[in-house]
């Protein structure tokens, strides 16, 4: 029995393979190319693409845990073909191979951006397929369509051991690429000017996500789980960063129309990202808490750990 993991060089993946290796688990990862920050880990590294059906059929064995984290993430609405091939077609192929191989569990990392969110009120795990008719982002559409395929596949094949997680905005250590939110931390550490707008998001420590994924496998849980965290405004995020850095910087608050105008000049800004900040983020994580022992790391501690890691690795 092995953990077969796609997307292992991403933020969640990097932390997951380290934790599984630390626990002495047999881990196989599929990567397009080896990178320095994974080469010394006690895991099996297979160069290739999870889109290669022949390769994945050879790698996956009966009784394995298949954890599918890989995704094409781009908040600019371009290149639908890549979104489709990676996020939808790739997920379909991997699920079908896993089912035929009788894996122990297939775990898929969807996204909160793949959920239909009411304008107000509680957001819970989807009880049925997701309505994508109002989605504008290629990323949201592709992740939701992949999620819908898996939900329908499970309905047709009740013996398919499926779990789906919906992470919020993931922050924390081992963010090597880095993520879009990671670039914000780097800019703050470099002393760049800070701009804030009205909006909020659910920030979650990557270690909390990893613990939940491992517990899904350990406790053999099926179904959907919201893995979100602490709801904070953009201003509150910057205030926490500056408080921990012990500086007196005050972010410049700008109106949203100026933020949209600044999109071509700021690397981590996009219309999709700005729209997300205005969405309802009243996520309820009672199910994850009760079934997965999902406990949230203190927000300021998360920010502190993240800043320390970025300072040590990037600066």
Q: Which tens digits make up the pLDDT trace of 140-190?
A: 999 999 999 999 999 999 999 999 999 999 999 999 999 989 999 999 999
- State the DSSP H helix or E strand holding residue 189, giving kind and residue range, or none if neither: helix 180-189
Kindly state whether residue 133 falls inside one of the protein's structural domains. yes
Kindly state whether residue 264 falls inside one of the protein's structural domains. no
* pLDDT > 90 fraction of the chain, expressed in percent and rounded: 80
Residue tagged 């092995």 (tokens): 2
State both tokens at 309. 């890691």
Kindly state whether residue 270 falls inside one of the protein's structural domains. no
Kindly state whether residue 99 falls inside one of the protein's structural domains. yes
Of 16-25, 186-195, 242-251, which one has max mean pLDDT?
Answer: 16-25
DSSP assignment of 102-120 equals: T-SEEEEE--GGGS---SS
Q: What is the CATH number of the domain that holds 118?
A: 3.40.50.720
DSSP assignment of 234-283 equals: HHHHHHHHHHHHT----PEE--HHHHHHTGGG-TT--HHHHHHTTS---B
pLDDT value at residue 256: 77
CB 230 within 8 A of CB 168: no
Kindly state whether residue 262 falls inside one of the protein's structural domains. no
Give residue-wise pLDDT tens across range 250-272: 888 888 777 667 666 666 677 77
User: Per-residue pLDDT averaged across 91-97, rounded?
Assistant: 98
Q: How far apart are CA 14 and CA 23, in angstroms?
A: 15
Strand bridging mode 44-47 / 105-109: unpaired
Give the domain range for residue 68: 3-177+202-229+282-296
The reported pTM is 0.95
SS3 60: coil
Of 273 and 249, more confident: 249
pLDDT value at residue 221: 98
Total tally of structural domains belonging to the chain: 1
Kindly state whether residue 237 falls inside one of the protein's structural domains. no
Is the pLDDT score of 204 beyond 80?
yes
Kindly state whether residue 252 falls inside one of the protein's structural domains. no
Kindly state whether residue 303 falls inside one of the protein's structural domains. no
| Residue 183, CB-side half-sphere exposure with 13 Å CA sphere | 8
User: Per-residue pLDDT averaged across 129-136, rounded?
Assistant: 92
């Amino acid at each position: 029995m092995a953990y077969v993991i796609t997307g292992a060089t991403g933020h969640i993946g990097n932390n997951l393979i380290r934790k599984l290796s630390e626990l002495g688990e047999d881990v196989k990862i599929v990567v397009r190319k080896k990178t320095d920050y994974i080469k010394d880990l006690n895991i099996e590294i297979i160069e290739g693409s999870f889109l290669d059906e022949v390769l994945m059929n050879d790698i996956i064995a009966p009784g394995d845990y298949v954890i599918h984290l890989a995704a094409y993430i781009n908040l600019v609405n371009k290149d639908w073909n890549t979104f489709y091939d990676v996020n939808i077609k790739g997920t379909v192929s991997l699920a079908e191979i896993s089912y035929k191989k009788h894996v122990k569990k297939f775990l898929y990392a969807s996204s909160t951006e793949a959920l239909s969110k009411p304008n107000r009120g509680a957001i819970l795990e989807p009880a049925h397929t997701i309505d994508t008719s109002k989605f504008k982002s290629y990323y949201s559409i592709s992740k939701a369509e992949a999620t819908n395929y898996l939900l329908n596949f499970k309905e047709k094949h009740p013996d398919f051991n499926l779990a789906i997680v919906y992470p919020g905005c993931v922050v924390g250590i081992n963010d090597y690429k880095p993520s879009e939110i990671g670039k914000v931390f780097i800019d703050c550490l470099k002393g760049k000017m800070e701009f804030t707008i009205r909006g909020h998001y659910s920030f979650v420590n990557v270690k909390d996500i990893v613990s939940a994924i491992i517990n899904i496998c350990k406790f053999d849980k099926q179904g959907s789980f919201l893995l979100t965290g602490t709801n904070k405004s953009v201003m509150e995020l910057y205030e926490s960063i500056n408080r921990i850095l012990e500086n007196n910087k005050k972010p410049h608050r700008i109106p949203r129309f100026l933020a949209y105008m600044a999109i071509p000049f700021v690397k981590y800004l996009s219309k999709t990202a700005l729209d997300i900040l205005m969405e309802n983020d009243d996520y309820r994580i009672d199910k994850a808490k009760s079934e997965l022992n999902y406990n949230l790391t203190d927000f300021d501690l998360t920010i502190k750990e993240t800043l320390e890691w970025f300072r040590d690795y990037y600066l």
